[in-house]
Each structure stands twice: as structure tokens, then as C-alpha cells.
Amino acid sequence: MTAHALEGMRVVDLTQVMAGPFCTMLLADLGADVVKVEPPGGGDQTRHSWGRSGKGDDGPAFFALNRNKRSVVLDLRSEQGRADFLRLVADADVLVENFRPGVMTRLGLDYETLREVNPGLVYASISGFGHTGPYAERPGYDLIAQGMAGILELTGHPDGPPAKAGVPVADLGSGLFCVYGILAAYVHKLRTGEGQRIETSLYEAAVALTVWEATEYWSSGNVPTRTGSSHRMSAPYQAFRTADGWMTIGANNQRLWGFLCAALGHPELEHDPRFATNPDRMRNKAELASVIESILAEHGTDHWVDRLLAGGVPAGPIRTYDQVLADEHTLARGMVQSIPHPVEGEVQTLGFPVKLSRTPATTRRHPPLLGEHQDEVLGGREERA
């Protein structure tokens, strides 16, 4: 039987949609017993989004973020629902919620109240903008957070409109940062018995991910702008067109620049005064890209990727998402998993991206049916899962 790193951790999951469920799913993958508390009348909103699968009531968005969890349905405004919830909290190590600030207080389930029930509770909150500051009351969506954190203004090509990142970096980033905070607080709890409150937000996650942009601004005084796929500080490091598609090249230091010139069959470019040093290449970045693409136009992507890799230059093809999921390396790294489901038959899900040699993450439970574990969790007969 596989040992799990977080075996014995009990998590009460009061989250919905993306950021919170992503956080608690990562904890569940590592072995935590995550009990998802859902409201009556349909449960998590994502059970009913992106259409139906054609067999059951739950939509694919729910499947993506809720494996390895158990589900109970509780009306937190009712006397019985509140009593059952407090029983769960009394036996929990962690609670995660992603309501708007003030909701848990109005329910009488804020940290100060629950710490009286369980002084060792790690109480984690994810919100749009945090629980303090002038934007605390604003609704939080990934798109809004990306825009206000500057990511939309930084994404896309210089002559194009602002664009959001292709994946929901604020939602997923806040979930990841929350996991990080929970594990730090849990270590402290194991050492001292003390719980604590932690919180993060979509906005802070988005700002925290703009590491290069903050560095550029503070070091130069220049306000960062859109650069397409190119790097802010070194070149060539971007996407390039080939005879039959696109590829990426990462020759972002002087040594790799020399390797690239040789692999392209144009060693004379290495000392061309327009491109001889990184400052030269950054000043002439558009011209550099034009020269490189004129060479790449002679052959297709696979040819150039093989040739550059053989020459010691980091390079790769730009793929469509169906190609990514079918790629032999994606499969070899276990990043595509299949879970037996009592209604759907099989549900595909992405694998866990960190490999632990002694306590690996595993896919053990299908995304739960609404209230599937009501009796198991609340019947008073269960051990920690």
C-alpha cells in the first residue's frame, strides 16, 4: 500500500469553482483526507458548468478539480448543518474557504469562532483581493485580477490589444500559494500544536508572478510593455516561424548564441556587430528575429528542433493541445491519468506534477458524486480516510 506524505491530515473544504478546489485537490493528491462540504441545491457551481457529459449530472469542470475528495452536503444556515459542520471542524487540521470577505463572519464560522472549537486549526482563505486593503470587497475573477495586476497589459504583441494569459494564472497561482502557506502552517502546528489563519488572493498571486517585470521596472525605471513571446532581458529567446510551423529557441546567453549561429549554418552571425552582444541583440531584436526566420524558412520545425538540440541549443516545437496530451513524454511522466467513475465509466485527469520517491501522489478516488459520502463522514463510525 502506498504511503502518502499528508496521510492523517484532515481538510474541511468549503471551496468552489477553481482556486480553492485546485488547492484542496493538490492536498488530496498528497494523501490528505479532504471532505468537500457542498451547499444544498446543486453543490459546487462547476458541477453544472461547461455542459453535461451525457451520462451524469456533473460537468467536466468539476471533474478537473475534485479528484481524491469526499463530498457531503450541509446547509450551513440550518441548526443541524451548523452542528455537523462544527463536528467536522473539531476533528480537522485544515479548513479552506474561498468565499468573499465577510461571508464566513456572517455565517458565524470565521476564524475567531472556529479556533474556539479547534485551537490547532489551520484556517486558510482565498479571495479576489484579500481581506484587507481598499479592494477587499471587490468580487474576484481571474480575468479581473490579471488585468489589475498588469498581466493583460504585459501579454500579447506590442501592436496588439491587451490579452490575458492563456491559462488562469491568478486562479491557479493563488491555489498553489495557498497550498504553500497551508503546508508551512501545518508544520508549525505539528511542532507546537498551534493553529493559525492564513490568506492569499488572486490579485497577490498575479502580482507575485510578475517577477521579471518588477525587476525591469525597478532596475531601469521603464514601464514594462508587451513583448510577444520574446524575453524582456535577453535575445534570442522567443517563438520563430519555420517552413511549416513554429518553434521556440532559447539562446539567452553568449555561449548559446555562438552555438545557435553554428547550428543555423551561419557562424558569421556570432560576431556581426548588430548581434555581437546581448545589449546589441536587444537593441536590434526585431532585425535579429527577421534574420533568424529567413534561415528557418528553409526547413520545417522538426528539422530545426533536431538540429538545434544536437548543437546544444535549447529548442522545441510549438504544439497544439491535442498533441501535448498525446505526447510520449507527457505520458511517460504520468501527466495523463484515468479514474474509474461510477457514472461516467472513465474520467481523464491531469497527473500530479511533482514526483516524490517515498510518498508519491496518487489518484485514489473519483471526483465525488454530490453528497456521496454523507453517511460515511457524518455517521460517526468512520476513521480518517
Q: Is the dihedral angle over the CA atoms 208, 212, 217, 218 positive or is it negative?
A: positive
Cα 7 to Cα 46, 119, 189, 243, distances in angstroms: 27, 21, 15, 52
171 catalytically annotated: yes
Q: How far apart are CA 163 and CA 208, in angstroms?
A: 19
Catalytically annotated residue among 33, 44, 58, 171: 171
Q: How far apart are CA 130 and CA 201, in angstroms?
A: 5
Q: How far apart are CA 230 and CA 156, in angstroms?
A: 10
Q: Of 364, 359, 258, 270, nearest to 313 (Cα)? A: 258
Q: Which three cell numbers stand for residue 163?
A: 490579452
Q: Which three cell numbers stand for residue 89?
A: 471542524
Q: Fill in the amino acid letter for 319.
A: R
Q: Are 155 and 228 in contact (CB under 8 A)?
A: no
Q: Are 369 and 344 in contact (CB under 8 A)?
A: no
Local structure of 383: helix, strand or coil? coil
Q: Which three cell numbers stand for residue 115?
A: 479556533
Q: Fill in the amino acid letter for 11.
A: V
Cα-based torsion angle of the residue sequence 60, 64, 68, 69 in order, rounded to the nearest 10 degrees:
-70
Q: Active-site positions?
A: 171
